[in-house]
Structure 1
Amino acid sequence: MFTRQLYTRCLSEAAYYIESNGIAAVIDPLRDIDEYIALAKERNATIKYIFETHFHADFVSGHLDLAKQTNATIIYGPQTVTSFPVYVAKDGETFSLGSATVTVLHTPGHTIESSCYLLKDEAGKDVALFSGDTLFVGDVGRPDLSSGNLSKEELAAIMFDTLQNKIKPLADDIILYPAHGAGSSCGKNLGPDTYSTIGEEKKNNYALQITDKTEFIKEVINGLSDAPKYFSINAKINKEGYDSLDSIKMKGLTLLSIEQFKEKIDQDVIVLDTRDKTQFAEGFIPGSIFIGLEGRFAEWAGTLLPFDKTIILLTEKGKEEETVVRLARVGFSKIEGYLDGGFEAWQSAGEPIDMIIDIEADELAMDIPFDKNLRLLDVRRETEFAEGHVKNALSIPLEEMTDIAKIANFEEHDNLYVYCNSGYRSVIAASLIKKQGIHNLRNVLGGWQAIKEIDKIDFDKNIEALN
């Protein structure tokens, strides 16, 4: 028997390839399916099943394209309703995989159709549980996402029963393979590892240690941040179907001349620049939005960009396809090409450019006592801001900066200094602010990490200390 975890760090997402005697299955595939097909070909295996643990909200699954390519059967757990053909399995139903078997465990709570898949080896021993978003390392799936008319309290109560009746009775030595790791918004506080054992989770996971249902509901719900705005869109796409990735790539990889690019700009499209943040700050097309590939690109794109508007791209050379694929992973399909020659061609043609002024943290410290119009904008999350921030800084988390009213609160005479934790989110924020016509701003290099390392004497004198 062969098992491989295929982990995508920028989405904190784990898909799985399992195989026995040349018969394979893929669990929770991403939209770009080439890796699964290549692995099966390399191992001279046939992909027979595609097991989906639930309707994913944080990415678009590759189930439809993979089924079309391989003729594999798409399998969901009980209470699944889709707009395309799938096999809806019964609780406890078993599927043969070569000499191994996969048993469906209906485990509602994260969503009503959520299911885990229990893998038995050729000797009939339980060896692994593919838990989707039901059970993570150190956490459980949040109960406030798409599941009909059920409240988060009702789903949390169902989750308690699931854990008590379906998960805790399992043997301690079973390997736990969840759908996500640290950084995912599908849970509150996932652990750093991408796999564990049932025994370790019984010892260390708070959700498996609480035995009172009322206390469990309170604990699971407490501290939940708002789900990213694109989650409901992705869940709907996964339930109702989508255009093939090949068709999206065909449109998205259209080469656009400078004149064609300008014509599309005039049609009120989104110009998305995915280069490195330093390159962007040094020069960019006016009005473009920066979201660099080096960060959690797809998540920020899904959070900040509208899904109903056309996107045209400016990328580093050779990064065009990666950009399109990573956008498609979170449901973007209206991508209509990229600039031939990139920013260098635009600049060489004498077209207008904009830039962002970068400053070091110690320069900020020197400016604060003498600039009466200085305004500090902290774009980190509320929890980060609460743990420490520059005194008198205004908190507008980046995920809230699609609210134009909040950005418009700045005056023309304000000298705006923007910082995040390390410098990635602040450049995104600066591009959004500039797009709204506010240009008197500076980006603090290194963000909060650099600010708090300023020499203590200068820190106390010029920044006055943390709240």
Structure 2
Amino acid sequence: MHVEQIYTGCLAHAAYYLESKGEAAIFDPLREVDPYIARANKDNAKIKYVFETHFHADFVSGHLDLKKKTGAQIVFGPTAKPGYEAIVAKDGQIFEVGDYKVKVIHTPGHTMESTTYLLIDDKGQEHGIITGDTLFIGDVGRPDLAQHVVSELTEEKLAGHLFDSLRNKIMPLDDHLIVYPNHGAGSACGKMMSKETTDTLGHQKKVNYALRADMTKDEFIKELLTGLTRPPGYFPQNVLMNIKGYESLDTIKERGEKPLSPRAFEVAANETDALMLDTRTPMDFARGFIPNSINIGLKGNFAQWVGEMIPDIKQQILLITYPGQEEEAITRLSRVGYDHTIGYLEGGFDAWKKAGKEYETVGRIDVNEFEETYKREKPVVIDIRKKSEFDSEHVVDAINVPLNDINENLSRFPKDKSFVLYCAGGYRSMVAASILKQRGWDNFVDVIEGFDEIKKTSVEKTDYICPTTLL
């Protein structure tokens, strides 16, 4: 059976391409649809359907642009109420793609419209299941997201629905079926997903905690809800975009790909409420940046951190990128609904500097300097990593302020004494540094390459790295 997983690592997202006899289907596409169209053209195939497993929270789907550009029909599972023309399928309904069949299996729980698609080959044999966020490899979808859109859908109610869906719809299926989930490790849609992106259902029944055969519903709900972290703030806004509709990516790119000279960029920054977003590496940002700009590097989980750190998806954005990366930045912003880029700095930061414009820097120290400073001065040390990372191991006496909580915890950053920032590898701490600089802090340094380097070079020489078990 011709099934192809199209995986995008920075979002830990998997879309799927199915083709038979010149007909194709796309499952859970990302916002930019040209790669899917090109893939179908390679097979001389026409995209017949765009299947959506649910209204996604962590990205804006490309179903509307695919329909517009190819004429494909959009398919949702039962109970979905899209604000545009689409097929709302019945449980058990079968769609034909060439000689293949796609059977709708309604599996509410992650959301109420969540649907699994059973793939049946040209010989009538069941091949696999495209599970969306119902079943991951090693995990299942979190049931606490829909309540941020529909308040009466509590996480307990949805967890109960998910238990029933798994036991009554998924687990009775044959063990040989291949599980094709929507996400892998790194996605915020689950809590303990595997790095593997496919597996057999039979193996998942053996190793996935949520599929344990002797688990009661109450045990399932308790275990599923334990340890859930706060979902990113942009999730409900993405859900609404996927329900109601959105502008074409072509329109967004046309609006955003507007080159601005240093002078025009400065005028735009002063005369609008646009946020200046610098997407360069932490190292280059630290060496020089436009005052009041925020650093979230493209070489990292860019879209996810934009979603975490910029509360309003309608925020206007002015981009500072390396020359030639403007389109990539605009596209990756649009994946999570940030559609209001209004221009970019032509020539990048180098053009700004050559124009004699004011710029700032971030102080940084390497691990040897950190070790010496730590021993000599015992400075305030602030760890920007997630609580789970901090709880596992951290510098003794460090204060934990996770990056996604920084705006609510600015009072924990001293203004009357110097302090040191670190994260795991330097990416998140530079995001934090840029925010602190914007808010008026200038009395800190950042550790180059972060805790990973501190631990690697210093753990055998000092005792200042403290595992939780020793606290």
Count residues with an aligned counterpart.
Answer: 462
The Cα offsets for residues 219-263 of structure 1, whole Å up to 9 and x where unpaired, read as: 111111111111111111101111110111001110111111111
Instruction: State the partner residue of 2:237.
Output: 233
Instruction: State the partner residue of 1:224.
Output: 228
**For 1:79-90, what aligned pairs fall within 5 Å after superposition?**
79-90=79-90
| Alignment partners' CA distance in 2, 1:246 and 1:419 | 39
**For 1:316-327, what aligned pairs fall within 5 Å after superposition?**
316-327=322-333
Instruction: State the partner residue of 1:302.
Output: 307
Instruction: State the partner residue of 1:343.
Output: 349
Identify the match of residue 273 of structure 1 among 263, 275, 278.
278
| Alignment partners' CA distance in 2, 1:158 and 1:464 | 44
Instruction: State the partner residue of 1:41.
Output: 41
Identify the match of residue 244 of structure 1 among 235, 242, 248.
248
Post-superposition offset of 1:269: 1.8
Asked if 2 retains the 8 angstrom alpha-carbon contact of 1:182 and 1:191, the reply is: yes
* Paired residue secondary structure (1:336): strand
Asked if 1 retains the 8 angstrom alpha-carbon contact of 2:30 and 2:335, the reply is: yes
- The answer to whether the aligner puts 1:369 opposite 2:375 as a matched pair is yes
| Alignment partners' CA distance in 2, 1:334 and 1:455 | 45
Unaligned runs of 5+ in 1: none
Post-superposition offset of 1:411: 3.6
- The answer to whether the aligner puts 1:315 opposite 2:321 as a matched pair is yes
Distance 1:391 1:253, change over 3 A: same
Asked if 1 retains the 8 angstrom alpha-carbon contact of 2:459 and 2:465, the reply is: no
Instruction: State the partner residue of 1:57.
Output: 57
Asked if 2 retains the 8 angstrom alpha-carbon contact of 1:95 and 1:102, the reply is: yes
Instruction: State the partner residue of 2:291.
Output: 286
- The answer to whether the aligner puts 1:138 opposite 2:138 as a matched pair is yes
Identify the match of residue 423 of structure 1 among 426, 429, 439.
426
Which amino acid in structure 2 is aligned with residue 128 of structure 1? Answer: G
Post-superposition offset of 1:211: 2.9
Asked if 2 retains the 8 angstrom alpha-carbon contact of 1:459 and 1:465, the reply is: no
Asked if 2 retains the 8 angstrom alpha-carbon contact of 1:106 and 1:113, the reply is: yes
| Alignment partners' CA distance in 2, 1:349 and 1:150 | 55
Asked if 1 retains the 8 angstrom alpha-carbon contact of 2:319 and 2:344, the reply is: yes
TM-score, scaled relative to structure 1: 0.97
Asked if 2 retains the 8 angstrom alpha-carbon contact of 1:84 and 1:240, the reply is: yes
Instruction: State the partner residue of 2:179.
Output: 176
Asked if 1 retains the 8 angstrom alpha-carbon contact of 2:315 and 2:338, the reply is: no
| Alignment partners' CA distance in 2, 1:114 and 1:412 | 48
- The answer to whether the aligner puts 1:453 opposite 2:456 as a matched pair is yes
Instruction: State the partner residue of 2:399.
Output: 394
Post-superposition offset of 1:24: 0.6
The Cα offsets for residues 107-142 of structure 1, whole Å up to 9 and x where unpaired, read as: 000000000000100010000100000000010000
Asked if 2 retains the 8 angstrom alpha-carbon contact of 1:130 and 1:176, the reply is: yes
- The answer to whether the aligner puts 1:407 opposite 2:386 as a matched pair is no
Asked if 2 retains the 8 angstrom alpha-carbon contact of 1:377 and 1:417, the reply is: yes
Instruction: State the partner residue of 2:20.
Output: 20
- The answer to whether the aligner puts 1:155 opposite 2:158 as a matched pair is yes
Instruction: State the partner residue of 1:259.
Output: 263
* Paired residue secondary structure (2:11): coil
Post-superposition offset of 1:192: 1.1
Distance 1:375 1:7, change over 3 A: same
Which amino acid in structure 2 is aligned with residue 30 of structure 1? Answer: L
Which amino acid in structure 2 is aligned with residue 322 of structure 1? Answer: E
* Paired residue secondary structure (2:457): coil
- The answer to whether the aligner puts 1:122 opposite 2:122 as a matched pair is yes
Distance 1:208 1:438, change over 3 A: same
Post-superposition offset of 1:387: 0.7
Instruction: State the partner residue of 1:197.
Output: 200
* Paired residue secondary structure (1:119): strand
Post-superposition offset of 1:265: 1.4
* Paired residue secondary structure (1:123): coil
| Alignment partners' CA distance in 2, 1:307 and 1:417 | 31
* Paired residue secondary structure (1:31): coil
Asked if 1 retains the 8 angstrom alpha-carbon contact of 2:425 and 2:450, the reply is: yes
Post-superposition offset of 1:456: 4.6
Identify the match of residue 191 of structure 2 among 188, 191, 194.
188
CA RMSD of aligned residues (A): 1.3
Post-superposition offset of 1:268: 3.3
| Alignment partners' CA distance in 1, 2:30 and 2:415 | 45
Post-superposition offset of 1:278: 1.0
| Alignment partners' CA distance in 1, 2:130 and 2:414 | 53
The Cα offsets for residues 337-375 of structure 1, whole Å up to 9 and x where unpaired, read as: 100111111001110111111111221121123336x21
Asked if 1 retains the 8 angstrom alpha-carbon contact of 2:394 and 2:465, the reply is: no
Counting aligned pairs with the same residue, the percent is: 47
